[in-house]
Chains A and B, each alone.
Chain A
Amino acid sequence: MSFIVRQIAKRADGSDIVRTRTLTATEISVGRGTDCDIQLADLGIMLRHARLTLMPGGVVALEATGGIPLEIDGKFLNRAELRVADRPAINMASHRLTLVPGDSIGDGPDMVEITAERVIAASDAADAGAETEIFSLKGAMPTRRAMAWVLAAAILLGGLLWPVLMMTGHEEPVPEAMVAVAARPGSTPPDGAMIKTSMQPDIVWSSGALSSAHAGLANSCNACHLEAFEATPDRACVACHKPAVVPAHAAHDRLDLGRPQLAGSGLVAAHVKDGLGLEGGRCASCHKEHEGAAAPANLLEGDGGCAQCHDGLSGRLKDTKLVNAPSWDEHPQFRATLVRAAGAIPKFERLSLEKAPQERSGLIYPHALHLSRTNAVANMLRKQGLPGQNGALGCAYCHQPDSDGVRFKPIEMEANCGACHDLAFARDGEVVRTLPHGKPAQVAGIIRDFYLSQSLSPRAGVSRLSFDRKRPGVVEALGASSPAQARGRADRAIDMIFDKQGLCADCHQTRNTGAANAAARWEVASVSLNDHYLPLALFPHKQHRTYDGKTGEAACLACHDGARTSKVSSDVLLPKLATCQECHGGSEVRTNVAATCDTCHVYHGDSGQPVGAGLPVVAGKPGHGAWSGGGSWRPEPLAKAVAVERSARRGAGLEG
């Protein structure tokens, strides 16, 4: 009846030291205490931890004496009886006791061999890695290589791969409201137009906010970036901004010719851009995007220099009809677009105001006569109770501002002249019969019919009103003895209406063709009234309603000072450049109002619109066809009228 105890300890080099003892007793104690039969130096073990009692039949009774249960086959027990033949193992703290029958090594059947060894290494086990773990950051951080790979992979995935996949396989639509706004430039985009579509992965490539006009495109990169590695082409721009609405400044080849040769840093910059595939002359060469949420007009590259090309332009662009404009101080005198020959398609010509040019509108109209406070016009004004200014017919009686206050409504005979120059020719009871304006053949026919009907079937209360102001009060006899006499009277009446003393000749030049038929005998010269003398510039009249402390009529006459004295309509009453330069100019001008090129001119487009109101909208704008074509005036379909006007102006040399 004995135990064989084998205690295994580790050497520093890792090999085992085995100490074997034989204890002849039926009961042995295990613990940390020095009085124990099996002493285990393990602070997790109680001083007296357990007692083992050898029982007959190869059974060992186990009892925990330290108050800590013993772990046997994963179970924690205070008391157990173990069959030695099962080779049980008892765990206590860091140590393990393994029991095997002694006879396995030939010591007799009632011997039990106990192997005690430390199975959990002591905490101070020194290994080569410990020093590095403790003293370098390797023990506390993931490796730098791992962090680098993870970071780089995440960046390449989110910043390059994902956007590229979206770019190649997905087209984000342009918000429809924005396309509609682009067709009507100058109008304020409705709030809805700026509602962006949903965010796309390529948003991470956006180098800055889009301009206020393009804010709604923020997620539609493909609207402008059509092809990879291709600089934003013009076809992306004109998809929304139709050339009819935003015309080019000039043809590409003419722009190239007009541009001065680059030198120095400008030349270097141009070469760099060329080398990088940033071709010049594109919309995007000037219109910069991703430069912040300002208005597009404030995000231009190279906006500082109209004079770059327009100074000495004629030297480079030999056939240009434009005069060189080096600066505001050296701005050429205004060259007004004047009617040189009235007609269905009037002939225009640009002439410098320096040479006191004459306009040939075909109309007889002395401004001085109509602005007098003392003559028959002033009397008529009073009698008829017409609106006037200080007892005279004011400017505004005829020149009424158009809806945007930039220019004036077209002059219409019925509206502007008709109150005095009425065309009444007969009284028929309560009805005053009038002649149609602008239709000489109709007039002749109506007069002839009137006389013939009165001669054949005279009616009471019908009388002819005389146009002849030399013979007031004379009432013409209408009865006739024969149709031939009546016809003779009618022909005379027609001649009197059209001839030099007649009604028409107050305002029109008439010509007797000598035709036998009185209805076809008279021609009235065409009248073409100018509606835009300086069509290459913008002059918003409403912004000049006060001038030099003057308002109203006085402000008009401050610039158009010839109006009071002008006796013929061929006088051109436009102010010269010097008048503008009284206020607009540099520091030497006391008012110091801006005088940059774009104060008056726009880059895209050839007709005037107020500054800041955007570009002209051709379709749907009322009031075109503003000239009156005299006797042969016909309303033109709008688009045709615009085309005709443009072609006429082109003939006058407006488009260089």
Chain B
Amino acid sequence: MAGTRTMAGKAVSRAARDVAHEGFLTHRNMRWAKISAGLVLFCVLAYALVDQQPRPNGGTVLGYFLGSLGAGLIVWLSLIGVRKRVITRGAYSLKGWTSAHVYLGLSLMVIGTLHAGFQLGWNVHSLAYVLMMIVIISGIYGVVVYARLPAQLSANRNEATQPQMLEAIRTLDRQLDTAAQPLAKAEADLVRLSLEECEIAGGLGARLTGRYPGCGNARARDAVQALVRGQMLVGTPDPGLQQILFLLERKEAALAQARRHIGMKTRLEIWLYLHVPVTIGLLAALTAHILSVFLYW
């Protein structure tokens, strides 16, 4: 998230303020958590105490209030996309903004549900509600992975940078290529499997599950391993082939590390691919929801 990067920048330039690092969740002694909790409490109490006839939903006066509050929050929350691109000075730090974004976003779950009066249907109104919940839940996921994954990511990298990880694999590829030059076609084709049919990252499914069933390198390693073992049974194995096997195994290890890294990065990023486009969809659905209510007033 760009927000975190900017925060880090500020932490350096304004060391005096951020002596100890304070994350956006605990910003200012959880000021926004308290404000959101108060807002939720107020809405729940109002919902419980106001007699809404014939049944609670967006069409009562309290429903209009909750709906206006919710719509205002949705618009403000989506403005973080604009806010994070603007470098500002002064009191409204992006960290504070992010803290408010998270906690007010959570309160919207309650406000939106009370506005709907716990009713759902196949209509544009419920579409807005469902999209809102998708956005909020993906946001919660985002907060959780931001809190947990970076440490794991760091441990897995083991001081290696992303380019270094790639370079390690490429170096092994070059070595394999060179080592395979003297081989006959059958063996050379096995090495080509590793060189040409091995995707490091793969599609979304492979990235999320970490499973690469058709990976050329694994297939090549298994086949070469079988060959080497076969040769060992009858005599001394071909040292060239042994060298190839050694390289294939090292490549497998390098791939595994890179793929773990990619898997975590994917989990770290995937929620934004829901959170951001669905937010825009939500703004469209919200427009349709509000306009349609007044069109058929």
Contact = CB atoms under 8 A, between A and B. Distances in A.
Interface in A200-232: 202-209, 221, 225, 228-232
B297 A206 contact: no
B29 interface: no
Contacts of B185: 46-47, 66
Contacts of B276: 144, 148
A144 B127 contact: no
A156 B280 CA distance: 11
Nearest to A164: B295
B296 interface: yes
Contacts of B258: 134
A277 interface: yes
A304 B51 CA distance: 11
Nearest to A225: B296
Nearest to B199: A134
B58 interface: yes
Contacts of A548: none
B162 A303 contact: no
B277 interface: yes
A116 B122 CA distance: 66
Contacts of B269: 136-137
Contacts of B203: 140
Contact of A131 (B119, B163, B202): B163
Given A41-B181, A160-B287, A124 B174 contact: yes
Nearest to B203: A140
A148 B281 CA distance: 6
Contact of A207 (B123, B200, B295): B123
A163 interface: yes
Contacts, number: 182
Nearest to A138: B269
A457 interface: no
Interface in B91-122: 119, 121-122
A154 B284 CA distance: 9
Interface stretch (B36-44, B138-146, B188-196, B228-236): B188-196
Interface stretch (B2-10, B11-19, B259-267): B259-267
Interface string B170-188: 1001100110111111001
Contact of A151 (B61, B180, B278): B278
Contacts of A268: 61
A239 interface: no
B288 A159 contact: yes
Contacts of A229: 294-295, 297
Contact of B292 (A151, A160, A304): A160
Chain A, interface size category, equals 35 or more
B262 A135 contact: yes
A33 interface: yes
Nearest to A209: B121
A284 to B, nearest CB: 10
Contacts of A149: 280
A166 to B, nearest CB: 12
B296 A202 contact: yes
Contacts of A517: none
B64 to A, nearest CB: 6
Contact of A159 (B119, B127, B181, B202): B127
A34 B269 CA distance: 49
B208 to A, nearest CB: 9
A156 B279 CA distance: 14
A617 B168 CA distance: 91
Interface in A7-27: none
Nearest to A40: B181
Nearest to B192: A43
A453 to B, nearest CB: 77
Nearest to B276: A144
Contacts of B295: 164, 167, 205, 225, 228-229
Contacts of A221: 296
Nearest to B281: A151
Contacts of A141: 204, 273
B266 A155 contact: no
A298 B277 CA distance: 42
A407 to B, nearest CB: 33
B57 A208 contact: yes
B57 A207 contact: yes
B296 A159 contact: no
B285 A159 contact: yes
Most chain B CB within 10 A, of A33, A123, A164, A268, is at A123
A516 B293 CA distance: 82
A276 B64 contact: yes
B149 to A, nearest CB: 14
Contact of A291 (B55, B181, B273, B279): B55
A152 interface: yes
B166 A126 contact: yes
A304 B277 CA distance: 46
B210 interface: no
A137 B273 contact: yes
B215 to A, nearest CB: 14
Interface in A219-271: 221, 225, 228-232, 265, 268-269
Interface string A147-188: 111011101100110011001000000000000000000000
B221 interface: no
A228 B291 CA distance: 10
B297 to A, nearest CB: 5
Contact of B284 (A122, A156, A204, A225): A156
B278 to A, nearest CB: 7
Nearest to A135: B162
B244 to A, nearest CB: 11
Contact of A43 (B170, B195, B281): B195
B53 to A, nearest CB: 4
B153 to A, nearest CB: 11
Nearest to B165: A135
A200 to B, nearest CB: 12
B247 interface: no
Interface string A42-81: 0110110000000000000000001000000000000000
Contacts of A291: 54-55, 57, 59
B277 A148 contact: yes
A485 B282 CA distance: 108
B87 interface: no
A208 B273 contact: no
A288 B54 contact: yes
B123 A204 contact: yes
B73 interface: no
B292 A135 contact: no
A135 B166 CA distance: 10
B280 to A, nearest CB: 4
Contacts of B180: 43
Nearest to A133: B201
Given A43-B189, A206-B123, A265-B50, A32 B181 contact: yes
A216 to B, nearest CB: 18
B121 A207 contact: yes
Contacts of B163: 131
Contacts of B183: 43
B165 to A, nearest CB: 8
Contact of B124 (A33, A204, A225): A204
A652 to B, nearest CB: 36
Pick the 9 closest A-B CB pairs, nearest first: A148-B280, A151-B281, A159-B288, A147-B277, A152-B284, A148-B277, A160-B288, A159-B124, A205-B292
15 contacts: A32-B188, A34-B181, A41-B177, A126-B167, A134-B258, A135-B201, A135-B265, A136-B269, A137-B266, A137-B273, A151-B280, A208-B57, A225-B297, A232-B297, A277-B297
Interface of B: 50, 53-55, 57-59, 61, 64, 119, 121-125, 127, 162-163, 166-167, 170, 173-174, 177-178, 180-185, 188-189, 191-192, 195-196, 200-204, 207, 258, 261-262, 265-266, 269-270, 272-273, 276-281, 283-285, 287-289, 291-297
Given A153-B284, A155-B127, 5 more contacts: A135-B262, A136-B265, A137-B269, A160-B291, A208-B121
